Amino acid sequence: MNELIYKLIRRYQSNDPFEIAAGLGIHVRFADLGQGTRGLYFKKLRRRFIVIHDQLDENWQRFVCAHELAHDRLHPGFSRFWLDEQSFFNVGKYERQANKFAVRLLTAGDSLVKGETIEALLQRNGVPEEMHKYYF
C-alpha cells in the first residue's frame, strides 16, 4: 500500500487526492447524498466517478476523496453496491483498507516535529478525528 501511495505522489507531484483523481481521469462530483453517506465510487460505461457529499467540511471532503481513490486503486472491479448485494466478501475489510490508504496518503511526506503528538500531526494534515485510529 505504501509503495502504491508513493508512486502516485511521485507521478502527480502531490498528495492531494483531488489532483491525483484528476490525473487518473476519475471524475469527482459533489452532490447531496443524504444523511449517513459521505461519498461513493462507481464505474459507468468505463468512466470512473467519485461522488462526495456536498455538505461535508473541507477536511472531510479531502478524506472522502482519498478514501474513494483507494477503492479505485486497491479494489478494481468492485463497487460498494456490488459488494453489498452480490457477494459474501467482508465489506468492512475493504472499508478499513480504504481508510488506512486515505490516512497514509494525506500524511505522506510529513513527519512528527519534536514534541508533537500523533494526533497533532494528523490534525495538521486535515485527517478527521474519527479516522486517527487508522494511522497505525
Query: Residues 19-34: pLDDT tens digits?
Result: 999 999 999 999 998 8
- pLDDT score of 88: 41
CATH at residue 55:
1.10.10
Side-by-side strand order, sheet with 26-31: 26-31, 47-53, 39-44
Counting the structural domains of the chain, the total is 1
The pLDDT score that the predictor gives to residue 79 is 57
Q: Are 74 and 66 in contact (CB under 8 A)?
A: no
pLDDT digits (tens, 9 = 90+) for 44-68: 888 999 999 999 999 999 999 999 9
d(CA 28, CA 101): 18
Range of the domain at 78: 2-135
Could you tell me where the beta strands, DSSP code E, fall in the chain? 26-31, 39-44, 47-53
